Amino acid sequence: MKKLVIGILAHVDAGKTTLSESILYLTGSIRKLGRVDNRDAFLDTYELERARGITIFSKQAVFTLGDTSVTLMDTPGHVDFSAEMERTLQILDYAILVISGADGVQGHTETLWRLLKKYRIPVFLFINKMDQNGTDKGALLEDVKSRLDGNCVDFGADQEELMENIAVCEDHTLESYLESGTVEVPDIRKLIRKRNVFPCYFGSALKLQGVEGFLAGMENYTECPDYSNRFGAKVFKISRDEQGSRMTHLKITGGTLRVRDMLAGREEEKVNQIRIYSGAKFEAVSEAEAGTVCAVTGPLTTCAGQGIGMEEESELPVLEPVLTYQVILPAGYDVSVMLKNLRQLEEEEPQLHIVWNETLGEIQAQVMGEVQIEILKSLVQERFGVSVEFGTGNIVYKETILEPVEGVGHFEPLRHYAEVHLLLEPGEQGSGLQFEARCSEDMLDRNWQRLVLTHLEERRHKGVLTGAEITDMKITLVSGRAHIKHTEGGDFRQATYRAVRQGLMERPVGCWNRIINFAWKFLQNLLDELWQILNGCRDGLTRRSRRGK
């Protein structure tokens, strides 16, 4: 069968999980229609989700649409779990954006729309809760057009109006429409695929109104991608099952993955089992073809965002935590044990950024908000049997540089030697850290160059202004030296770290010099103005004195 991966996204309480439930019910994947408020929704597989009535972790369900096998990815709607949602976007062929008819387009809806645009994902819109009093279809459509995109088209309109609205979305299609009086279905599919048209459907997922028409529209107007025979896979999530086994969730983007194949993480690791999940249950299979979303056991060094085979690494996520909190442990609890446990959670939620702050002597975590804190506390209690608390949140700051600078690191204790020269350049906002080597092998052997780049990538480097993590910077290895007898790998680690810090130290000096020069000039101008005022007052008093005489 042909394969499609479709994600469903929404602002919290828009009815996303209810729509997922309706889709699975109408396509025969589930026999009973569950409800969020009854705590029996098919995709709310965790007790925390049932208790709170929100989606916390992305999950999948499989259903058949015509001759296509569709993997439906249910993503969190609450802003605190946006990072989990964003990681799922990288594997989607299409997206369903659910909007509450009672609330219209909300702030987080616009954020989701920008992310879908960034990842170039075609979108179908379902305007939900149209059974509620006060909903106005015309006003909602205008709201969607003005705040999201003018090419959002009501696919529930009559045929003539629909064809006309689709045609005006692209010049070439309009010319064809004026000649033939219609727009062919393959052309509509291409327009949707290219994000030139965004189909809108209206209904009520709870009452199954408009959902069948929505499914018929998706069957008619979606097309499956062509996959390469070369093997490729994209990792989007790491989790653990009830037995504690580490699972790597990925989408096969080319070729076929088989049990006992070697999967490349930080090292080659064998695949022990391939699972295809649907809700809380899974089917173990011997192989997975391109287009399949599956979880594999065996690999221990994979990470979210990793590309395998022909796939490249994913870009840095747009949505990042804005607060950092101290993790407060019970009295007498071993800090090293908790740090190891939290690293396990960090694998599953990379945006936690678990760090040990040596200066303050505390474990710190970055989170999106209060709801995520409550979930983390519950997870730590459930998984490790420890009750932790979180201190007062502080805003997450990051540092960068304004101008290029060279940093030099030298490490030469007895019988050790390494020297590293780095060029630090400011990058575009949101670019993160980028690393490159432009060093002659006559000056520094290729193996040493690779080692320097590894040391640059293996840690988060702190700035020198506030001690915040540095970002939006390109670091290039331009030169270096090693001793034929006394140089070891650890020597370049020290030299590399020293080169970064020495380069960063150049910036505050230059900044303070500029600040001092500006302050001095300002003070000089102020004194000049005061002197002129005093001279003016003296001249005025002199003239009055003369007239008095």
pLDDT of 509 > 50? The answer is no
Q: Which residue has the higher pLDDT, 430 or 100?
A: 100
Instruction: Please give the Cα distance from 17 to 50 (Å, whole number).
Output: 11
Q: Are 131 and 259 contained in the same domain? A: no
pLDDT of 75 > 50? The answer is yes
Q: Are 159 and 29 contained in the same domain? A: yes
Q: Are 266 and 384 contained in the same domain? A: no
Residue found by looking up tokens 């996204």 in the block:
9
Residue 436 lies in a domain: yes
Residue 386 lies in a domain: yes
Instruction: Please give the Cα distance from 495 to 511 (Å, whole number).
Output: 25
As a whole number, the mean pLDDT across the chain is 85
Write the pLDDT tens digit of every residue in 243-277.
888 999 999 999 999 999 988 766 678 999 999 99
Neighbours of 139 (CB within 10 A): 11
In degrees, rounded to 5, the angle at the alpha carbon of residue 459 between the alpha carbons of residues 310 and 316 is 45
What does the longest C-alpha to C-alpha distance in the chain come to? 114
* 3-state secondary structure (DSSP) of residue 187: helix
Residue found by looking up tokens 């309480």 in the block:
13
For residue 369, the enclosing domain spans: 323-396
Q: Are 425 and 381 contained in the same domain? A: no
Q: Are 406 and 257 contained in the same domain? A: no
* 3-state secondary structure (DSSP) of residue 193: helix
Q: How far is CA 115 from the centre of its chain?
A: 9
Q: Name the H helices within 282-369.
A: 335-348
Q: Are 172 and 204 contained in the same domain? A: yes
* 3-state secondary structure (DSSP) of residue 161: helix
Q: Which of 417, 463, 426 is closest to 444 using CA atoms?
A: 417
Q: Are 386 and 404 contained in the same domain? A: no
Structure confidence at residue 542 (pLDDT): 54
Write the pLDDT tens digit of every residue in 427-448.
888 778 888 888 888 888 888 8
pLDDT of 402 > 80? The answer is yes
Instruction: Please give the Cα distance from 111 to 328 (Å, whole number).
Output: 33
Residue type, 197: V
Please answer whether residues 191 and 112 qualify as being in contact, where contact means their C-beta atoms are separated by less than 8 angstroms.
no
Residue 549 lies in a domain: no
- Final residue of a structural domain among 276, 309, 342: 309
Instruction: Please give the Cα distance from 473 to 429 (Å, whole number).
Output: 9
- Phi first, then psi: give them for residue 91, nearest 5 degrees: -115, 5
Q: Are 208 and 115 contained in the same domain? A: yes
Structure confidence at residue 15 (pLDDT): 85
CATH for 197: 3.40.50.300
Given pLDDT bands bounded at 50, 70 and 90, which one contains residue 508?
Answer: very low
Q: Which residue has the higher pLDDT, 7 or 313?
A: 7
- Read off the tokens for 540: 């005025």
Q: Are 25 and 170 contained in the same domain? A: yes
pLDDT of 185 > 80? The answer is yes
pLDDT of 192 > 80? The answer is yes
- Final residue of a structural domain among 202, 221, 240: 221
Residue 534 lies in a domain: no
- Final residue of a structural domain among 183, 200, 221: 221
Structure confidence at residue 537 (pLDDT): 62
Neighbours of 32 (CB within 10 A): 8
Structure confidence at residue 519 (pLDDT): 64
How many domains, in total, are found in the chain? 4
Q: Are 167 and 246 contained in the same domain? A: no
pLDDT of 1 > 80? The answer is no
Q: Are 475 and 371 contained in the same domain? A: no
Q: Are 212 and 351 contained in the same domain? A: no
Residue type, 521: K
Residue 296 lies in a domain: yes
Structure confidence at residue 441 (pLDDT): 86
Structure confidence at residue 139 (pLDDT): 92
> Which is it for strands 405-411 and 418-426: parallel, antiparallel or unpaired?
antiparallel
Residue 114 lies in a domain: yes
Instruction: Please give the Cα distance from 172 to 194 (Å, whole number).
Output: 13
Q: What is the share, in percent, of the chain residues with pLDDT greater than 90? A: 34
Residue 140 lies in a domain: yes
Residue 518 lies in a domain: no
> Which is it for strands 256-258 and 246-254: parallel, antiparallel or unpaired?
unpaired
Structure confidence at residue 510 (pLDDT): 47
CATH for 436: 3.30.230.10
Residue found by looking up tokens 């936690």 in the block:
352
pLDDT of 546 > 60? The answer is no
Q: Residues for the chain: how many in total?
A: 549
Instruction: Please give the Cα distance from 85 to 82 (Å, whole number).
Output: 5
CATH for 340: 3.30.70.870
Given pLDDT bands bounded at 50, 70 and 90, which one contains residue 130?
Answer: very high
Please answer whether residues 480 and 439 qualify as being in contact, where contact means their C-beta atoms are separated by less than 8 angstroms.
yes
> Which is it for strands 246-254 and 433-437: parallel, antiparallel or unpaired?
unpaired
Mean pLDDT, rounded, for 127-143: 91
Given pLDDT bands bounded at 50, 70 and 90, which one contains residue 279?
Answer: confident
Q: Please give the DSSP secondary-structure letter assigned to residue 49.
A: H
CATH for 246: 2.40.30.10
